[in-house]
Chains A and B, each alone.
Chain A
Amino acid sequence: DIQMTQSPSSLSASVGDRVTISCRASQSIGSFLHWYQQKPGKAPKLLIYAASSLESGVPSRFSGSRSGTDYTLTIGSLQPEDFATYYCQQTYSTLYTFGPGTEVDIK
């Protein structure tokens, strides 16, 4: 099975900060990597698909990139509504594993 790791597990940031979250796959998954945002009590929301494509309706301050088996979600300028937990997920294999999540809270 493909394992997904994320770092950090949590971070504190201020409005306006640039935030980066990392995700690593245990083996090559190409661009089959997606990012989700989840707020408490809500369903996850797709932000980035195929490593770097912005889902329709998602603000352009969110971006994704890939280097080998390392993936990065960047929030260009953190907004109050961005405080949430972020998950990566691979759909390369048919066991669609999620990363453990990164909680972004207010400094």
Chain B
Amino acid sequence: EVQLVESGGGLVKPGGSLRLSCAASGFTFSTYTMNWVRQAPGKGLEWVASISYIDNFIHYADSVKGRFTVSRDNAKNSLSLQMKSLRAEDTAVYYCASLGFGFDYWGMGTLVTVSS
């Protein structure tokens, strides 16, 4: 059974940092492009970042470029999102998702709240 489990969310002050993790199991993680998608309270889905399976291609949404860093450890079947200079508008549920034909597997999400 495919599982993606996010962790690391919580309450952080504006300007602070947080690192999210996503543990993958049940599929060949090393052969999938992985993504972070977020959803602010009551809002729609926003793609945040992607990292290809061979680590050579990393892309970010303009809203997070220069502040967020996505990385992966294929040996540990793990995806990470390092978030810095956090703003109130980064408050959201953050999901990790695998790219097959579309984003075929999703985790349950982890909530990040940026507030003083």
Contact = CB atoms under 8 A, between A and B. Distances in A.
Interface in A79-106: 85, 87, 89, 91, 94-101
A14 B85 CA distance: 46
Contacts of B50: 94, 96
Interface residues of A, number: 26
A53 B61 contact: no
20 contacts: A34-B103, A36-B102, A42-B108, A43-B109, A44-B45, A46-B102, A49-B104, A55-B104, A85-B44, A89-B47, A89-B103, A91-B99, A94-B50, A94-B59, A96-B35, A98-B37, A98-B44, A98-B45, A100-B44, A101-B45
Given A43-B106, A44-B106, A96-B50, 5 more contacts: A43-B108, A50-B102, A55-B104, A89-B47, A95-B47
Interface of A: 1, 34, 36, 38, 42-46, 48-50, 53, 55, 85, 87, 89, 91, 94-101
